[in-house]
Structure 1
Amino acid sequence: MASISVPDPVPSSTQDAENIRKAVQGWGTDENALIEILGHRTAGQRGEIAVAYQGLYNEILLSRIQAQLSGDFKVAMTLWTMDPAARDAKLAYKALRRKRVDDRTTWVLIEVACASSPDHLVAVRKAYCSAYDSSLEDDMAACALYDPLRQFLVRLVSSCRYAGEHVDEELAGAEAAELHGAVVIKKEALHGDVVRILCSRSKPQLKATFERYKQDYGKAIDEVLEGNRNDRLSSMLKITVWCLTSPEKHFAEVIRYSIIGLGTDEESLTRAIVSRADVDMKKVKEEYKVRYKTTVTVDVVGDTSGYYQAILLALIGPEQP
């Protein structure tokens, strides 16, 4: 459900590398050419372009992008050009190094741990170790968050989930009851049972458990947690539930929150669009339209400008008004 449009036929990685070189040499930079090339290539294709560019010019493509561009456009192009696992490792590292860890910082860590495949999380942990000479788990354990949220996040980033489709319906019923007992009866959002279930079960198993929860208790687990919105742990648990089984709900909310109100949270807006364009931006756009009665495109056009707007629109892809 990626949203980017790729030309057919796709130019070779060598052709793309040569055209990028033309765009960054001479008098000024041809930003539109960079968007036309990199903004319309998949992660695998961008990786091949980077290899070809370095082979042709003995220069790292990402370094040239960073040296050539500026502002929010530079940030967006840098994140988009990076290998996805390295990008998520960088986002997590930056979040963990902040002096003040607020809710939106915590969102980043939950997204990295939960919003992609188990194999991707393994790749992120490897990329983190390679880039920062430390483990993501150790840095998470030492961050400024308070327990039990910090312990919960450590468990999430350390998880090694089953990646298959098998679901145990009997287990789903039993664990739906455990979630209800912890969240509703004991009113402990991060009770040990909750942490164990969310940090160990496969995504298909969790989806079955949440469906059984709604069937048995008449209300979806995320609705129950939304009702406790003044409780920060419940709020973080709701985001975790969304990222594990329906990440489009979370990222639609991130985009909306980054735009509404005074000013624009470009950091959050960029992260949401860049990280989902290769994954499920079509579903994010559908969720956004249903929930907010407008489109991602309309809101981005109304709140951004210039080349920054152009790359975001390329990644969002076409959508009906």
Structure 2
Amino acid sequence: MLWTLEPAEKDAYLAKESTKMFTKDNWVLVEIACTRSSLEFFRAKQAYQVGYKTSIEEDVAYHTSGGVRKLLVPLVSTFRYDGDEVNMMIAKSEAKILHEKMEAKDYNDGDLIRILTTRSKAQISATLNHFKNKFGTSITKYLKEDSDNEYVQLLKAVIKCLTYPEKYFEKVLRQAINKMGIN
């Protein structure tokens, strides 16, 4: 059936299925929200509303709780700027904020979530590159020590999907082939 749907309808269907059973092995919604252009994701959200008579935001809020909800609702609510322009002053400032949050292990902080859910992908990449250059390690390395935490795994997935989607999907595919990932 998925092969017969338009891309936006397919994304809407997959997002609906993902919201019903959102687990660490089923982050399709994150993958769609982070890897599609703003317009493609907007079209998927429109198809979702037409097909299911509700919004993705409503379903995410209903089916999740705690930190997961706090991260996912703004992630699926935003309409990101898709351009390549970057403000290096913002990148430097926000890299410092992210570093403070990583050091404090304050992964649910509003500023951290705001940066990841509202900034353009180019701006996030510039911020994370500055983070790595200034502090000597990538943000995902900070998260590695708490990788048993499902929320931290989700946060890493969001960061990887936004910055290096091909590497993220390569790992997901490798794990699926090795029977460790998606069923």
TM > 0.5 between the two?
yes
State the distance in 2 between where 1:166 and 1:146 align. 34
Deviation for aligned residue 1:196: 0.6
Q: Does 1:127 align with 2:47?
A: yes
* Partner of residue 25, structure 2: 104
Question: By how many angstroms is 1:151 displaced?
Answer: 2.2
- Residues 128-277 of structure 1 mapped to structure 2, 5 A cutoff: 128-143=48-63, 145-184=64-103, 186-261=104-179, 265=182
Deviation at 1:265, TM superposition (A): 4.7
Number of residue pairs the alignment of both structures matches: 183
Unaligned runs of 5+ in 1: 1-77, 267-321
- TM-score (ref. length: structure 1): 0.55
| Range moving further from structure 2, 225-234 or 171-180 | 225-234
Written as runs of structure 1 = structure 2, the 5 A alignment for 1:19-58 is none
Partner of 1:79: 2
- Structure 2 CA distance, aligned partners of 1:92 and 1:104? 14
Structure 2, unmatched stretches of 5+, are none
Tell me which amino acid in the other structure corresponds to 2:51: A
> Take 2:158 and 2:182, find their aligned partners in 1: how far apart are those partners?
21
Tell me the equivalent position of 1:296.
Answer: none
Structure 1 residue 254, shift from structure 2 partner: 1.2
> Secondary structure at 1:148's aligned position in 2?
helix
* 1:203-248 CA distance string (max 9 Å, x none): 1000000000000100011222223212222211111011111101
CA distance 1:265–1:179, change in 2 (3 Å)? closer
SS in 2 for 1:160: coil
AA paired with 2:49? C
Deviations, residues 293-313 of structure 1 (Å, cap 9, x unaligned): xxxxxxxxxxxxxxxxxxxxx
Deviation at 1:79, TM superposition (A): 2.1
Larger radius of gyration: 1
Q: Which amino acid aligns with 1:176?
A: A
| Alpha-carbon spacing, 1:259–1:136, altered in 2? closer, same or farther (3 Å) | same
RMSD of aligned Cα (Å): 1.6
1:137-172 superposed Cα distances (whole Å, 9 cap, x missing partner)? 1111111x2212112101000011111111000110
Question: CA offsets, 1:49-92, max 9 Å, x none?
Answer: xxxxxxxxxxxxxxxxxxxxxxxxxxxxx323321111111011
The DSSP-based 3-state class of the residue aligned with 1:222 is: helix
| Structure 1 Cα separation of the partners of residues 182 and 124 of structure 2 | 32
CA distance in 2, matches of 1:171, 1:233: 26
Letter in 1 for 2:48: Y
Distance 1:214 1:119 in 2: 30
CA distance in 2, matches of 1:109, 1:154: 11
Please give the alpha-carbon distance, in whole angstroms, between the structure 2 residues aligned to 1:237 and 1:136.
19
**Partners of 1:103 and 1:173 in 2: how far apart?**
31
